[in-house]
Amino acid sequence: MAQVMSHSLSHLGVQKEMARQILERYDVFSKESLYQAIQSGEVAGHPAWEDYIVWKNKEAHIARLRQMAERDSLHMC
């Protein structure tokens, strides 16, 4: 079980890093600000829309990984 938790935490770090790279690529503070920048034409729609969708999915995946890690840590006690 500890190995599963370790893998989940490692995967969580990778997902957060990928989201951070998108944030830096567009010099924005949130996926919502990226959305606004795309809508206003401040950044080109391609590949920004794809990156926005990836970022949105990564946030959902990160939330699931956190839930798994929390659940696993409760079972270890």
Ordered DSSP codes for 17-39: HHHHHHHHHHT-SSHHHHHHHHH
Number of domains the chain contains: 1
At 65 the pLDDT is 80
Contact 12, 69 (CB under 8 A): yes
- What is the domain range of residue 68? 2-76
At 7 the pLDDT is 63
Give me the tens of pLDDT residue by residue for the chain, a chain 77 residues long: 455 556 666 777 888 888 899 999 999 999 999 999 999 999 999 999 999 999 999 889 888 888 887 887 777 65
Q: Does an H or E element contain 42, and which?
A: none
At 2 the pLDDT is 52
